[in-house]
Amino acid sequence: MKQGKQGKAVGLVMACCLTWVSMADLSMPVQAATQDNEKQIQVGDDVYATLDMDGTLTISGTGDMWDNAIMQSEWNEESNCPWFGDWEQQITSVVIEDGVTSIGDYAFVVSTITNTSKGHYCHQNPHGLSALKSVKIGSGVERIGEFAFYKTPELSYINIPGNVKEIEKNAFYESGLENVKLQNGIEKIDNGAFDYTALKAVDIPGSVKTIERNAFRFANLTNVTIQQGVGTINSDAFGKVHAKILSKSVVLASRAFLGGSTITCYKGSTAERYAVSNNMTVKYITETKTLKKSPKPSVKIKGGVMIITCKAVTGADGYQVRYATNASMKNAVTISGSKVSVANLKKGKTYYVQARAYKKGAKKTYGAWSDKVKKKL
């Protein structure tokens, strides 16, 4: 185990053990059987967790889940958190319904509770749900709390929707994540959020304002994409990676990426200056200028031949024309050239013609098709 990882793991256990809770201060939750095959407990002021026989834990109701829910649910004199024992082994999926607005700190962490002395209790050996494989986050959730999915080894994929604004500290620390979809709308990825996961690639949406220290530092990442709009990436956010940075003005702290990283970016961008000043390999993104105009085609009929000529467009390297016998351009014939002649057409038929320009590069970039020109042969 690496020293940094060991320190964080020990820190979590210590944090749990130093959180002393008097039985007199606890609010006893509601536990009920909703149906013969279901169990239900309270995990928020108006939020309940229901486990069905298929292993699906549904979090429903309105408002926030309790932070540190393991300290609020199903206590006896020497009890454990609500997921401990049978529940821990049975839960294979979690569904957060739309009325729930936050996933609490340590929400799905399991721990043993020990009676130390004089009615005080300590959490020991905290870990996540060992059989959890899937999580669906509802449209009302705005926050994923600290250590919410800590040490969930079977959780290999999650889609985090844009209504989630903040992924808090160590939310997925040491989880089994291999793939994550971060949707546009997320604003903050906090310290250690995805640290010590098996992620190989991640795409950071442009809505993200801040990526904090160690957010991905000890993940297995090799490829990172930073979309246009990302605000600040703080020190030690990433390890040694190949980063494609599409944002021209992202703020990069001195050690945002570990030395030896390769940075692909635009010339003149803040990412280029960062890479050069840190002696990193720099590759450049070729900017492609779009063609704003379409070439208006001129169509003439001469001796049964249709002659199509494209009007020149500034910046174009070439042209295409297409023609069809229907206005929808279904089954249209496409030909390259600024002036083309088409023979063997059917007399009396009406033909529709369009043209477009293109620019050359690593691959051709096409402009829009022009308005249709209608011509009867």
- How many structural domains compose the chain? 2
pLDDT of residue 116: 53
Q: How far apart are the first and last CA of the chain?
A: 79
- Specify if 141 maps to a domain: yes
Q: How many CB atoms lie within 10 A of CB 94?
A: 25
Same domain assignment for residues 41 and 167: yes
Q: Are 106 and 147 in contact (CB under 8 A)?
A: yes
Q: Could you tell me if residue 155 is inside a domain?
A: yes
- Kindly state whether residues 210 and 317 are assigned to the same domain: no
Are residues 20 and 75 both part of a single domain? Answer: yes
* Domain end among 227, 262, 284: 284
Domain boundary among 251, 284, 317: 284
Assess whether 237 and 334 both reside in one domain.
no
132 and 233 in a common domain:
yes
Residue from 129, 119, 44, 128 nearest 76 by CA: 119
Residue 265 resides in a domain? yes
Same domain, 33 and 124: yes
Residue 192, pLDDT score: 96
Domain membership of residue 214 as a residue range: 3-284
Residues 206 and 347 in one domain: no
H-helix or E-strand spanning residue 277:
helix 270-277
Does the residue 289 lie in any domain?
Answer: no
Distances from the Cα of 123 to the Cαs of 49, 68, 211, 218, in angstroms? 21, 11, 30, 26
Q: Residue 76: inside a domain, yes or no?
A: yes
Q: What's the pLDDT at 289?
A: 64
| Domain identity same for 261 and 336 | no
User: What is the DSSP secondary structure assignment for residue 201, as one 8-state letter?
Assistant: E
With respect to residue 364, please indicate whether it lies within any of the assigned structural domains. yes
Say if 291 falls within a structural domain.
no
Same domain, 250 and 342: no
Do 125 and 249 reside in the same domain of the chain? yes
Question: pLDDT tens, position by position, for the chain (377 residues)?
Answer: 334 444 444 344 434 433 333 323 333 344 444 455 567 888 889 999 998 989 999 999 999 998 764 444 433 334 445 665 667 788 999 999 999 999 998 888 887 655 555 555 555 667 788 899 999 999 999 999 999 999 999 999 999 999 999 999 999 999 999 999 999 999 999 999 999 999 999 999 999 999 999 999 999 999 999 999 999 999 999 999 999 999 999 999 999 999 999 999 999 999 999 999 999 999 999 766 667 788 889 999 888 899 999 998 888 899 999 999 999 999 999 999 999 999 988 888 899 999 999 988 767 888 899 999 998 88
Residue showing tokens 């486990």: 51
**280 shares a domain with 363:** no
Q: Based on the domain organization, do 205 and 334 belong to the same domain?
A: no
Which CATH number is 317's domain given? 2.60.40.10
Are 61 and 99 a contacting pair, CB within 8 Å? yes
> 290 lies in a domain?
no
Question: Where does a domain end: 284, 308, 329?
Answer: 284
Provide the 8-state DSSP code for 334.
Answer: E
